[in-house]
Chain A
């Protein structure tokens, strides 16, 4: 029963039942360019895809502005068919605040990394949440500064080796990781807070539901979805093993689930 399964050989003795299609054909409509500069095995495009699909599904395409932080995901900010305002490292929540305060009819969301949101921009996201700013922040949490080559961030788990914690993160020297979603959930202005992941197909689906819920909750107040994403390059872990690595290490500390939903809707 446990024999390895191989893809079937394409029969060539008769014409194919359906036309061939490029992988690009599966790119969601709001991602205008399939090609990107992110690494193979990276989790960030999956998280961004979930956001782009949710925007379209909720009918927000013609009233949405995405504010990008600085990190690997910045490579997507000129790739989307959603309006984008590119912000500086850590500064997306204040930029999104300026947008929605002047245009409450616009759905403003941010896309930021863990270094961006939890290191450089922690104050921004906490105050935006406390003010109950009507924005949704998406944090792609891979536990490293991916873009600069894999250094330790505030979410790096204890023991994790990075380029500037070569012997592993040591609480005595580097301090403890910050569980951002847990922190934000304690703030009264936050109405929906969840942590998802993209390591398995099931988790991608769960995360997508969180994204949908957050974008709907934003009418009532601040929403945050943290998404655990694989960074095989920054972790120096083989792409085929990085999802497993994430579940075994990163997700043990940053656990998945809906941390707050004041809308009272049942969540899974």
Chain B
């Protein structure tokens, strides 16, 4: 760990990526992701890495595809629209089994479905981490590279304007020396009779005399992909942060930056003697369904706060499975800039919403 330094979120993320061994980054400017690209352009060359100003998000992720295939720790990122352009590659990188870290610096929380369900095609899931602040994001960066490599998959970090632009005092983890994974291509296996292949269509090499016909076998490949996805979702322990007491009647669920404000509101209400609690899914995929169900047990209502018209509330309903009523107390951001720098993220305002719900529950 470095000594704490006062840094912009974007710069701290870049420093954490370089420390985690990231040596290739490609991106295309889009607020609030832009700062990460700028910081990587500054930091990577000095660390022996390469930062590319791609001509679009399509090319940014394409370049990462190549860098990941030769075993470099690679990352990219963007914001809603740019991530929409990357979806084809994101989906297919899971079938090509290529690791990648994607910084999704979103505008508000309207992209929860895009992030957790993917806008891409096929039967895939990407692990998603939703840090509450810069300090946590820095620890998530090395976690994300670790998962990406262990499960050979893209991993997404779901951040926002607050994460990118807030200055905080943070410590950057000690640098890791990147190790080239054994499966990577390097050009050297050509002519050996077993030249390596990295393909979203599978890695079966068709050879005469082995009874195989020419071409790829997609039925076999897609089944193997589905099995690996299942193993990954079972293998990654979902993370959750919670503050509840034995008396909790209303559990308030939030994630990402807004959760910091919800947490503060719940703490104040608890200090005032209200029977409320707080829970924050830290991994959005895999979602902490089991842990949330246990926390909700005995509550009279579960409230979900997010800055959109209700997306994660679906996952909370799946978790609670009808055992407790789930109420949506969030809403679209009132911020006219579109960046989700929400005037509604005000502790007094949040306390009011929570108290209203507590009142309704008590009156039932």
Contacts and interface: CB of A to CB of B under 8 A. Distances in A.
A80 B195 contact: yes
Interface string A52-88: 0001100011111101000000110111111111111
Contact of A98 (B24, B190, B191, B214): B24
B88 interface: yes
B196 A78 contact: no
Contacts of A84: 195-199
B59 A101 contact: no
A166 interface: no
B191 A61 contact: yes
B62 A99 contact: no
Given A56-B191, A62-B191, A91-B65, A123 B199 contact: no
Contacts of A99: 66-67, 69-70
B241 interface: no
Contacts of A85: 65-66, 69, 185, 197-199
Contacts of B207: 32-33
Interface string A123-165: 1100100000000000000000000000000000000000000
Which interface residue of B59, B194, B205 has the most chain A CB atoms within 10 A? B59
A221 B106 CA distance: 37
Contact of A62 (B54, B64, B188, B201): B188
B89 interface: yes
Contact of B208 (A34, A63, A91, A93): A34
B73 to A, nearest CB: 10
A101 B62 contact: no
Contact of B59 (A37, A65, A124): A124
B193 interface: yes
A81 B188 CA distance: 11
B356 interface: no
Given A95-B69, A102-B67, A86 B191 contact: no
B191 A87 contact: no
A95 B196 contact: no
B107 interface: no
Interface in B54-95: 54-56, 58-60, 62-70, 72, 74, 88-89, 92
Contacts of A80: 195
B26 interface: yes
A98 B192 contact: no
Contacts of B204: 78
Interface residues of B, number: 54
B206 A98 contact: no
A126 to B, nearest CB: 9
A36 interface: yes
A170 interface: no
B265 interface: no
Contact of A83 (B23, B55, B197, B213): B197
Interface in A9-33: 24, 29-30, 32-33
B50 interface: yes
A103 interface: yes
B101 to A, nearest CB: 14
Contacts of A24: 208
A35 B185 CA distance: 25
Contacts of A29: 191
B69 A35 contact: no
A216 interface: no
A33 B23 CA distance: 36
B96 interface: yes
Interface string B174-212: 000000000001111111111111111111111110000
Given A35-B208, A91-B89, A95-B65, A101 B188 contact: no
A78 B206 contact: yes
Contact of A35 (B199, B203, B213): B213
Contacts of B50: 101-102
Contact of B24 (A82, A96, A102): A102
Contacts of A112: none
Nearest to A130: B55
B214 A81 contact: no
B10 to A, nearest CB: 23
Contacts of A60: 190
A75 B186 contact: no
Contacts of A212: none
A82 B208 CA distance: 16
Given A63-B188, A64-B190, A123-B56, A94 B208 contact: no
B62 A124 contact: yes
B359 interface: no
Contacts of A83: 185-190, 195-197
A218 interface: no
A164 to B, nearest CB: 23
A106 interface: yes
B199 A127 contact: no
A85 B188 CA distance: 13
B96 A86 contact: yes
B214 A36 contact: yes
B339 interface: no
Q: Which 4 A-B pairs have the closest CB atoms?
A: A98-B66, A94-B62, A86-B199, A98-B67
25 contacts: A24-B208, A35-B206, A35-B213, A56-B191, A61-B190, A63-B187, A65-B185, A78-B197, A78-B199, A79-B206, A81-B190, A83-B187, A86-B201, A88-B200, A91-B59, A91-B62, A94-B62, A94-B66, A95-B63, A98-B64, A98-B65, A98-B68, A99-B70, A102-B50, A108-B66
